[in-house]
Amino acid sequence: MTISDEEAVDLYLKTQDQKCFDLLYSRYSSKIFGKCISILKDEEKAEDATQEIFVKILLNLSKFSGKSKFSTWIYSITYNYCIDSIRKRKKDKSVLVEDLANQHDTADDGLEDQFLLELNVKRLKIILDKIPVTDKSILLMKYQDELSIKEISEVLVKSESAIKMKIKRAKQKFKKVYKENYKDS
Amino acid sequence: MSKNSFKELAKDNQKNFEGKEKRIKENINHSIGFFHFIGDIIELFVPRVVQVFLGISGAKGPNKDAEEGGSRSSDSQDTPRYPNTLE
């Protein structure tokens, strides 16, 4: 019998049963690790981050209200942890400035979705590693986790219109860096 | 099914997790065990430490007052509550 994430959380909170934790760990550990390695770009740091994120999740499990999906809640902790960790490391304050600088650019979103989804994986990885961490995270949330605008707004604690704007700018940034790296295509 | 290079990238990244699963899980269990231990220590000792401080400061618990039943010594009845003030 399979139980949902939410049921496993409830059961864990009531019984502290290790099996519930094992279940959640088997469902999400590799995904969390994948996101950490994608953002932090370092296997060892991703390993430490996965561990700390899971400890954080377990210690805050009682705060999970069930308003959003458990996966959305877990991803919000993961993305916010990774973004904070990058910011602490690099003191990356250029993100906002870059966002503002891109305000006047225009983009054809319909075409870009197709372009992004069908891009060569190696190229995708290279370009994602070259754009600011917030842009990268928002693209991963939208295209990898397939979160809705509403869910992304919950993760980043921003309004839905702000998220739409951020996605648009992230795509513009991606396109710009792609053109710089692959002028022929 | 249409292609999604983001999902393929996620699969590639998750491949690196193989072999680390068990070690990370053990570390998480150790950390949680440690936090529980600290929680137990706090739960056990903090009330006692508070009691010790109350004892040192001379504060009496409500039960002790009740035991005395208002039968104060003649000294305490004779001396004013605030010795250096005019009452």
User: What per-residue confidence (pLDDT) applies to A88?
Assistant: 85
Does B81 score more than 80 pLDDT?
no
Predicted pLDDT of residue A53? 95
Q: Which of B2, B24, B29, B36 to mutate to test the interface with A (most CBs of A within 10 A)?
A: B24
Which residues of chain A neighbour B11 with C-beta distances below 8 Å? 34
CB A78 within 8 A of CB A51: no
Contact indicator for B9, A121 with CB cutoff of 8 Å: yes
CB contact under 8 A, B35 and A119: no
What pLDDT is stored for residue A98 in this prediction?
A: 45
Evaluate whether A115 touches A154 at the Cβ level (below 8 Å). no
Question: Quick check: B10 and A34 CB within 8 A?
Answer: yes
Question: Per-domain residue ranges for chain A?
Answer: 5-90, 94-181
CA–CA separation, A25 and A85 (whole Å): 22
> CATH for A94-181, among 1.10.10, 3.90.105, 1.10.20, 1.10.3470?
1.10.10
Selected residue with higher pLDDT from B85 and A119: A119
Q: Which residue has the higher pLDDT, B82 or A29?
A: A29
- Stretches in chain A below the pLDDT threshold 70: 1, 91-111, 184-185
What's the confidence (pLDDT) of residue A166? 94
Q: What is the pLDDT of residue B78?
A: 54
| Residues of chain B contacting residue A117, judged by C-beta atoms under 8 Å apart | 2-6
Contact A139, A93 (CB under 8 A): no
Shortest alpha-carbon distance between residue A177 and chain B (Å):
17
Of residues A68 and B59, more confidently modeled: A68
Q: Which residues of A touch B (CB under 8 A)?
A: 25, 29-31, 33-35, 37-38, 43, 46-47, 50-51, 54-55, 58-59, 116-121, 124-125, 128, 139-140, 143-144
Separation in Å, CA of A54 to nearest CA in chain B: 7
pLDDT tens readout for residues A102-128:
444 444 554 578 888 999 999 999 999
Q: Is the pLDDT of residue B33 over 80?
A: yes
Q: Which CATH class is domain A5-90?
A: mainly alpha
**Average pLDDT of the residues of chain A:** 85
Asked if residue B63 has pLDDT above 80, the reply is: no
> How much is the mean pLDDT over chain B?
76
Q: How confident is the model at residue B28 (pLDDT cuts 50, 70, 90)?
A: very high
List all residues 6 or more positions away from A120 whose beta carbon is below 8 Å from its beta carbon. Answer: B5
CA atoms of A167 and B44, how far apart (whole Å): 51
pLDDT for residue B79: 53
Please indicate whether, in this complex, the C-beta atoms of B32 and A31 are within 8 angstroms of each other: no
Nearest CA in chain B to A40: B13
Burial class from Cβ neighbours inside 10 Å (0-12, 13-18, 19+) for residue B27 reads middle
Nearest CA in chain A to B11: A34
The C-alpha of A90 sits at a distance from chain B's nearest C-alpha, in angstroms, of 23
Q: What confidence tier does B61 reach under pLDDT thresholds 50, 70, 90?
A: low
Q: Residue A3: enclosing H or E segment and its boundaries?
A: none
Burial environment of residue A106 by CB neighbours within 10 A (0 to 12, 13 to 18, 19 or more):
exposed
pLDDT at position B71 over 70: no
